[in-house]
A and B are shown apart, each in its own frame.
Chain A
């Protein structure tokens, strides 16, 4: 649909559209346009390109998928404005998992149960989709049996590290001498790495400009570890939740609505301990950590430009790190499991917050359009396409694809990604999520920038959530 400047304006456009509709019914093959809102980045561009090249509708209709590529920083604004204003522009939307509650309750996202029940292919897809994705991307209320979406780009966080440093014999020996443990290098060694070792890494690789580092000297101040600690969006909650869960703490559990409480849960001793643990490790991070602006892009930059030895970041941001155009250490960066908390039994708990985006259908379309949209879903979730997606920078949502013997070797982070899937949980999906997230980010930021203690911050968060959710009728 091209928007050309039309002198006669809306009136002509209306008549023209009616005319088109009339002529369209006369021929058997219909033109169907599916407009889809998506963030402007690799995973969605791949979908569009792949579709244009290979998709052929089984119905014989002339189906076109038109992506509205929206820059990531403003993706939510654009989609929210479109949906809530009733613009009804999009037939499909790439959503973030947290948003779905808001837009389901607003009547914008289509419940798919009846279509899934009627279609064995969809049933097979749902069955083959990893449960963590179904839970995070499809269900509302959270963890219920109401399905709304499918994984478009499933994402998890993992450790990115500098092979040249961690596998350096001299460094390994020095680390052993100083801390007694192993400086992790291999996948197995990283699998055995807990937060304690992570802290040691942080201390170990803290070098000043001119100090020896690996085979050379540090050209600049060098730091050991970094993970996200940013005020914007969810750039700290995603990591802090991991610590809270691993320490046995909890966030407000919407699956147990209306019994679940916020006060006494969100700020219980375990949660506070977890948050404090997170804060303690920041001291080994580059100075930007002090500003509360150390978001996922900053840590990506820090490792790509050789300022830090290891970070924890999304797989979705990994491709540029291996591209010599962007990354000074494209050859040296490797990926591993995230560290976790070692329990008394010696086992490491790696609970973490899932990332990535599902895609959903909207409610205002004709059956015909909905059916064509579901055909696109089926095409996208087919093993060949999913595999091709994985080969071109994406991740599959299907267990069968991930189970292929070659899957782990397609991209260097796949092995960790697949192994970590069993440890993924998600934040809330309720429409109040944005208020909860925003307030939580503010309070976390206060603790990160030293204005509050971990306890004070979590107390404030718990109280805010308790009041908000009580008012919304979600806590009784």
Chain B
């Protein structure tokens, strides 16, 4: 936006034509050309027109090496018959694997399962996160300390959460099951049915990540200007109206942001599922990420898993665009 205008490049080009500069060239027979072109190159590179490019270059290079190159590699593989475990060289396959994946009912089933888990978990995260943010919005003694208690779950590893929640659900030893048995007389076998197992996963995941949503919402809440609340109070707005017209608009964008990040992350949910249910009972809680893991790493159907991943990427990109569309609309409104 605010580009400073300097034209060092042209100024220095003038300079190099001065006698002093040409002297320099004749003085030394070996390095001057290199030295000069080096310096020119340097000046070219760091000229203001290229400042933006220079600033982002390290990041782009790093992302290219560490993310984009491997992605392109696997993208390429998705068009070949290839098994990572096999010594046979890849053979061209065209869109074979895309067709295969898109027509595979198993993939659609796994996507459906994933969607169910994502929908429930993200919804729960939004609700819990929002409720807790409202709770912490006001100032009260020990607010800092209590807030830390609530933030802790997201600092735990997936392994820790998975393993301990599985223990909580365990019918004999699990504290949840024992609590249930105390009231209902029989142990809780939550993981025995599809929906029980889905809820088991959703509870663990939502517990872990609601604090994330809470932080974002809280940031929105504390930025609502006081005068709006005062105005709402003067206008004798009901709690709900105040929430809808004053609070929510300030939080909506952040809520959408949380929604996007959590949807993308939950879409990839793997460890918690793998540890708590291993996809069971049967395959009823097997998410798409678990499925990709199996296909890629246990079955070594490298091409198929690559093709599948790219379809997933497409789905996520669509979701993201949708999200960005909403965010942009919001920014225009304000």
Direct touch of chains A and B (CB < 8 A): yes
Query: In the complex, what's the smallest C-beta–C-beta distance from A235 to chain B, in angstroms?
Result: 9
Q: Which residue of B lies closest to A431 (CB)?
A: B85
Query: In the complex, what's the smallest C-beta–C-beta distance from A296 to chain B, in angstroms?
Result: 13
Q: Which residues of A contact B190 (CB under 8 A)?
A: 291
Q: Is A84 an interface residue (CB 8 A)?
A: yes
Known: A305-B173, A434-B298, A435-B299. A288 touches B189 (CB 8 A): yes
Known: A102-B85, A232-B278, A287-B172. A293 touches B191 (CB 8 A): yes
Query: In the complex, what's the smallest C-beta–C-beta distance from B82 to chain A, in angstroms?
Result: 11
Q: Which residues of A contact B279 (CB under 8 A)?
A: 231, 442
Not counting A291-B192, A448-B281, a sample of 12 additional A-B residue pairs whose C-beta atoms are within 8 angstroms of each other reads A80-B85, A80-B298, A106-B87, A221-B187, A231-B279, A291-B191, A291-B281, A292-B280, A438-B294, A442-B279, A449-B192, A451-B281
Q: Which residues of A contact B294 (CB under 8 A)?
A: 438
Interface size range on A against B: 35 or more
Known: A80-B297, A298-B170. A105 touches B278 (CB 8 A): no
Cα distance A333–B245 in the bound complex, in angstroms: 68
What is the interface of chain A, defined by CB distance below 8 A to chain B? 76-77, 80-81, 83-85, 102-103, 105-107, 220-221, 230-232, 286-288, 290-293, 298, 301-302, 305, 307, 431, 434-435, 438, 442-443, 445-446, 448-452
The 8 Å CB contact of A231, one of B166, B173, B280, is: B280
Q: Which residues of B contact A292 (CB under 8 A)?
A: 191-192, 280-282
B180-199 interface bits toward A, Cβ cutoff 8 Å, 1 = contact, 0 = none: 00000011011111000000
Q: Which residues of A contact B211 (CB under 8 A)?
A: none
Name 20 interchain pairs, CB-CB below 8 A, sorted by A.
A76-B298, A81-B297, A103-B85, A105-B87, A106-B85, A107-B87, A231-B281, A232-B278, A288-B189, A291-B192, A291-B281, A293-B170, A293-B280, A298-B170, A431-B85, A435-B298, A446-B281, A446-B282, A449-B280, A449-B282
Q: Which residue of A lies closest to B191 (CB)?
A: A291
Is A84 within 8 A of B85, CB to CB? yes
Q: Which residues of A contact B8 (CB under 8 A)?
A: none
Known: A107-B87, A231-B279. A286 touches B171 (CB 8 A): yes
Cα distance A107–B89 in the bound complex, in angstroms: 13
The 8 Å CB contact of A449, one of B86, B186, B193, is: B193
Cα distance A103–B41 in the bound complex, in angstroms: 51
Cα distance A435–B305 in the bound complex, in angstroms: 14
Query: In the complex, what's the smallest C-beta–C-beta distance from B186 to chain A, in angstroms?
Result: 8
Report, nearest first, the 3 A-B pairs whose CB atoms are least far apart.
A449-B281, A231-B280, A291-B191
Q: Which residues of B contact A452 (CB under 8 A)?
A: 282
Cα distance A333–B42 in the bound complex, in angstroms: 77
Q: Is B84 an interface residue (CB 8 A)?
A: yes
Q: Which residue of A lies closest to B302 (CB)?
A: A84
Cα distance A302–B294 in the bound complex, in angstroms: 30
Q: Which B residues, 276 to 311, have Cβ-Cβ distances below 8 Å to chain A?
A: 277-283, 294, 297-300
